[in-house]
Amino acid sequence: AQTIHQWPVAEIKAVGSPLSLGCTIKGKSSPNLYWYWQATGGTLQQLFYSITVGQVESVVQLNLSASRPKDDQFILSTEKLLLSHSGFYLCAWSLDWTNTGQLYFGEGSKLTVL
């Protein structure tokens, strides 16, 4: 069975500090991977997606970047956090392009920027 794990579960960071959130998928080779962000009380907003190692597409510009260094790993990062980055970050995977939209989400990482 496929599992998806996100880390860290929660972070409290200062404005201007760097950030790195991670996501690992086990039990599925070459998944499509996604990062979503949810501001408090807001909807799930897609940030990035990746269909293969080394390739990442940006959907929304929020002064964040993403990388896929391995087939099973997706990293979200920034060098300088803004207050507006606070929220809940969800990593997700899907089988392939034929099943796009059927997403399997991780547990999420809660980010508080002070």
Partner 1 sequence: GDSVTQKEGLVTLTEGLPVMLNCTYQTIYSNAFLFWYVHYLNESPRLLLKSSTDNKRTEHQGFHATLHKSSSSFHLQKSSAQLSDSALYYCALSGSSNTNKVVFGTGTRLQVLP
For residue 61, state whether it binds partner 1 (rule: CB under 8 A): no
Query: Could you give phi then psi for residue 83, rounded to 5 degrees?
Result: -55, -35
For residue 89, state whether it binds partner 1 (rule: CB under 8 A): no
* Residues facing 35 on adjacent strands: 48, 91
Tokens representing residue 59 in the block: 């959907």
Q: Which of 21, 32, 64, 66 binds partner 1 (CB under 8 A)?
A: 32
For residue 40, state whether it binds partner 1 (rule: CB under 8 A): no
Tokens representing residue 110 in the block: 């809660």
Which residues make up the interface to partner 1 (CB under 8 A)?
A: 32, 34, 36, 42-46, 49, 51, 57, 59, 90, 94, 97-98, 100-108
